[in-house]
C-alpha cells in the first residue's frame, strides 16, 4: 500500500497560541533533511482541512529526484490503522462484536484452541508472537503467485504457542493484524483490498494516485533508506529477505 504523505511527530506544529509558526516549522524541517533523513513529507491536518504541508530533500539520492507533495511512499504497517478502522466499521454495523472469539470467524486451526477475542487482536494483547524475519513479505511482482492462506497457515504452524495468556499484557504482533484482515474478508465478503478501497479510501476522497495497494507511478515513488551506521541497517537482514535491499547509496 502506498500513501502520498507521512505524518511524523517531530514537534508541536502551529500551536493555537501562536508559539510555533509555520516559518519555524519549515526551518526546522529543512535542517532535519540531510542530517537525519534524505527527504520527507510533513502534513498537519485537523478534522476539516490541511493546516500545513512541507516536502523537501530527495526521494531518490542517486538520481537526485526531489521529494514533492506528489511523491508516493510505502505505507507498510500504517495499514494496520486501516485494518482497525475496517474492524470498527463492521462492529458499528453490528456484524461483529469486539469481544467475540476470533474462532467464530476463522478456521479453528488458526489459534482456535485459545480464548483470543477480536479486541485482543486489535490491542496487541492476544499473546500471539511476532516472528522475525517476516518471511511472508514479498515483492509486488510476486503478488500474483502468492498464496496468502498457505503462507498464513505456515506461519501459524511455525508459531503455535502464545507468549502469554490473552489479555495479560501488550506485545506487538503482525500475525494478530493479519488475522484481523482475514476477519474483514470473511465478514464483508470482499477482499481486504476491495473493502479498504470502497469503505475507507474512497469516502476520504483519496484518488488511486494518492492511496492504493499498487504503486501507481514508479517515477513518482520514493526509495527507502537506512543510515549506513545504524542499528536498523545492521539488523535489516534479520527482519526481511535480502532481496528487498539495494546497495549502499551514500
Asked whether the CA dihedral 9, 13, 16, 17 is positive or negative, the reply is positive
Calpha distance 133→158 (Å, rounded)? 12
Q: Which three cell numbers, joined as nine digits, stand for 202?
A: 474512497
Of the candidates 44, 164, 185, the residue with the CA atom closest to the CA atom of residue 107: 185
77 is catalytic: yes
Of the candidates 193, 200, 131, the residue with the CA atom closest to the CA atom of residue 161: 131
- Residue entry with cell 492476544: 126
Q: Is 57 in a helix, a strand, or coil?
A: strand
Task: Count Cβ atoms below 10 Å from residue 248 Cβ, excluding itself.
Answer: 9
Could you tell me which residues come within 8 angstroms of residue 184 by beta carbon, excluding any fewer than 6 positions away?
Answer: 83, 86, 87, 90, 190, 192, 195
5, 22, 35, 77: the active-site residue: 77
Q: Is 30 in a helix, a strand, or coil?
A: helix
Of the candidates 201, 114, 208, the residue with the CA atom closest to the CA atom of residue 164: 114
Q: What's CA 223's distance to the chain center, in Å?
A: 16
Calpha distance 164→128 (Å, rounded)? 8
* Whether the Cβ atoms of residue 41 and residue 55 lie closer than 8 Å to each other: yes
- Residue entry with cell 456484524: 95
- Which active-site residues does the annotation give? 77
Amino acid at each position: 500500500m502506498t500513501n502520498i504523505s507521512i505524518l511524523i511527530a517531530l514537534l508541536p506544529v502551529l500551536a493555537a497560541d501562536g508559539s510555533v509558526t509555520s516559518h519555524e516549522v519549515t526551518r526546522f524541517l529543512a535542517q532535519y533533511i540531510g542530517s537525519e533523513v534524505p527527504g520527507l513529507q510533513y502534513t498537519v491536518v485537523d478534522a476539516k482541512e490541511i493546516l500545513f504541508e512541507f516536502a523537501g530533500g530527495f526521494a531518490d539520492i542517486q538520481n537526485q529526484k526531489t521529494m514533492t507533495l506528489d511523491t508516493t511512499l510505502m505505507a507498510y504497517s500504517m495499514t494496520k490503522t486501516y485494518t482497525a478502522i475496517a474492524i470498527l466499521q463492521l462492529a458499528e454495523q453490528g456484524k461483529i462484536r469486539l469481544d467475540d472469539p476470533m474462532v467464530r470467524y476463522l478456521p479453528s486451526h488458526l489459534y482456535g484452541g485459545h480464548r483470543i477475542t477480536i479486541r485482543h487482536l486489535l490491542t496487541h494483547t492476544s499473546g500471539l508472537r511476532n516472528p522475525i524475519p517476516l518471511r511472508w513479505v514479498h515483492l509486488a511482482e510476486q503478488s500474483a503467485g502468492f498464496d496468502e492462506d498457505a503462507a498464513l497457515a505456515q506461519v501459524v504452524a511455525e508459531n503455535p504457542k502464545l507468549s502469554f495468556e490473552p489479555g495479560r499484557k501488550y506485545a506487538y504482533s503482525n500475525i494478530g493484524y493479519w488475522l484481523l484482515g482475514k476477519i474483514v474478508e470473511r465478514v464483508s465478503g470482499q477482499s481486504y483490498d476491495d473493502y479498504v478501497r470502497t469503505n475507507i479510501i474512497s469516502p476520504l476522497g483519496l484518488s488511486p494516485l494518492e492511496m492504493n495497494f499498487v504503486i501507481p507511478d514508479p517515477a513518482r515513488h520514493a526509495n527507502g533508506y537506512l543510515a549506513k551506521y545504524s542499528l536498523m541497517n545492521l539488523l535489516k537482514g534479520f527482519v526481511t529477505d535480502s532481496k528487498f535491499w539495494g546497495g549502499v547509496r551514500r
